[in-house]
Structure 1
Amino acid sequence: MVGTSLLNKKAANIKKENGQMAPVPLFQSQESVVGEVRIEPLPGKKVEHMGVKIELLGQIELYFDRGSFYDFTSLVRELDVPGEIVDRKTFPFEFSTVEMPYESYNGVNVRLRYILKVTISRSYATNIVEYKDFWVRNFSPPPEINNSIKMEVGIEDCLHIEFEYSKSKYHLKDVIIGKIYFLLVRIKIKHMELEIRRRESTGSGPNTYNETETLAKYEIMDGAPVRGESIPIRLFLSPYDLTPTYRNINNKFSVKYYLNLVLVDEEDRRYFKQQEITMMRID
């Protein structure tokens, strides 16, 4: 029996593959990963081995290429020289100030994970391998420049609106504040809503897979506005399952966020304007 424990006291509740939430040890880049490995043979048995090692791995797994893991971090510590283990034995380990540049991520088509992998090498049988996942979250400083977003939506001689968001970079518990101005309205608008969309891109070139999720729908207005009307926007982000923006991580995947303004007329025609925003985890 092989077990791995970590000495950190922080944990994050993460949704597992079965959909259940479970606590997972939580770290951030430049922290030390310290713990111990316990090996306990079955009663009356012994484990003969050619060495015991532990690896700290940062991996990207693309689900359409399942079984292939791309390592961007790989560290190893030798725990024991060849020999045999008769009774329970404990091996302490430490990976000091580990650079873990990317946040953990479980997406639709891709997973970025950090694991500890213990291997008991054996010459006469299959190696014994044990895995333990941990989670990484990294924080960014507040942006020095955070420009507002100003855009227009127009249909010639029918509709002309301007919308403005107070900034273009948001932290995960932020609030989107903005305003929409109606300069020309000659179509019968039924309602208007603001969507938060997440687009996950995996692969590259002609083999790029794009997966877009609508994470939030916020109705801004119900009914037809008149010229000169202005509608305020205030959308709180904390209820939604957001991550930071990921840009071309290890040339394998990106995750981007968009604000999508949607107008629906009385004939259920939809008009929309999309704008990319940057999501950040700020301490």
Structure 2
Amino acid sequence: MKNLFGGLGLGQGVSVQLDFKPAEGQAVRTATVKAKGNETEQLPLYTNRDTIAGEIKVSNVPGKKVEHQGVKVQLLGVIELATERGTPHEFLALVRDLAPPGEIIAPQTFTFEFNNVDLQYDSYRGLQARLRYLLRVTVTRGYGTTTVKDFYFWVRNCEAAPAEVAGQPPIKMEVGIEECLHIEFEYNKNKYSLKDTVVGKIYFLLVRIKLKYMEIEIKRRETTGAGSAAKNESETLAKYEIMDGAPVRGESIPIRLFLSPYDLTPTYKNVHNKFSVKYYLNLVLVDEEDRRYFKQQEIQLYRLDTACDAASAPATPSLRLGG
């Protein structure tokens, strides 16, 4: 049976529950977050400068007294890299003492509040980097019996559209193979919101190879480290076929790719000097011998102010998480 209460099945005799509650003028919202495989989970959702507040209930086994050296809650922000397993980097650490040394002879409830918290980075789960926010409740006891329970929440920040978006010119490029293939492709811009649509066209100037199909991919590239120690990891998030069959000279293929259905984040540049995330549109052509020809174009993604509410679930009076 899954142990729902932190430490209860480990001989420690203490369980912990946490209720996220709205601070004055706020609402508790939730985000649907991708977990392992195709699973998702609901986490409390906050943005930068929000107040994180709630109640913590610490319970003993009925009839058993629990002595402790204090109860505290910490608000932590950590970055974890696959290349540095076991050594998370803390970039945010706040603490509130909830109770002095004493005894627990009946369930006790403690309120907490972290005001105007600097949540400058978005939460992120990638292939080799994770950025996580959590509340860590600690009931300090003797060696081996201290109870520590983590409760995670999600941070999603929004921004106004970059000033140059409205007037940015389309991207035009010509690529090809000498005397075999020459194409010109165009995208309407290189900066997109997460709910935007990529509009463009492919124009065939020369076709002397037998093409089978053409598709456009959205690729994400994570970079950790710097200089010679930098490590890149790429994944394909979406594939969209834009042509099936052989084109002829002078043919034009339109592109219309909606970004909202895909699991995208904003572009992140050098987050806390630990990792970066970039996005690319990858144009792929495949011939009848299954040879692949491709051309990548980097795009910048951002989350508009209006996207935060739309991406979250309706507000709730509180959200309870149990250990």
TM bin (shorter chain): over 0.9
Match of 2:35 in 1: 16
RMSD (Å), alpha carbons = 1.7
* Match of residue 176, structure 1, among 198, 213, 220: 198
Task: Kindly report which structure 2 residues correspond to 1:67-216, keeping only aligned pairs within 5 A, or say none.
Answer: 67-123=86-142, 125-146=144-165, 147=168, 148-216=170-238
Tell me the secondary structure at the aligned position of residue 83 of structure 2. helix
The worse-fitting range, judged by mean Cα deviation, of 62-71 and 162-171 is 62-71
Please tell me the residue identity of whatever aligns with 1:129: V
**Counterpart residue type for residue 209 of structure 1:** K
| Pairwise CA distance, 1:73 | 0.9
- Alpha carbons of 1:63 and 1:124: their partners in 2 closer, same or farther (altered >3 Å)? closer
Normalising by structure 1, what TM-score? 0.94
Distance 2:132 2:49 in 1: 16
Deviations, residues 168-221 of structure 1 (Å, cap 9, x unaligned): 111222111001122222222222111111112223334333221111111111
Deviation string 1:124-162 (CA, Å, 9 cap, x unpaired) is 653211110001111111122133322111222222211
CA contact (8 A) 1:150 1:164 kept: yes
The residue aligned with 1:41 is 60
* Alpha-carbon contact 1:3-1:130 (below 8 Å) kept: no
> Which shows bigger deviation, 234-243 or 204-213?
204-213
Deviation at 1:12, TM superposition (A): 1.2
| Identical columns (%) | 60
Whichever residue aligns with residue 186 of structure 1, its letter is: R
SS in 2 for 1:220: strand
Q: How big is the shift at 1:90?
A: 1.0
Q: Which moved more, 1:73-82 or 1:130-139?
A: 73-82
Alpha-carbon contact 1:29-1:98 (below 8 Å) kept: yes
**How far did residue 268 of structure 1 move?**
2.3
State the distance in 1 between where 2:179 and 2:37 align: 52
The separation in 1 between residues aligned to 2:35 and 2:211, in whole angstroms, is: 42
More divergent stretch after superposition (75-84 vs 17-26): 17-26
Structure 2 counterpart of 1:246: 268
More strand by share: 1
Answer yes or no: is 1:268 the counterpart of 2:290.
yes
Matched, 1:3 2:22: no
Q: 1:61 — aligned with what?
A: 80
Unmatched segments (≥5 aa) in structure 1: none
**Does structure 1 residue 231 correspond to structure 2 residue 253?**
yes
Superposed displacement of residue 263, structure 1: 1.4
User: SS where residue 129 of structure 1 aligns?
Assistant: strand
Secondary structure in structure 2 of the residue aligned to 1:132: strand
List structure 1 segments (4+ residues) > 6 angstroms apart after TM superposition: none
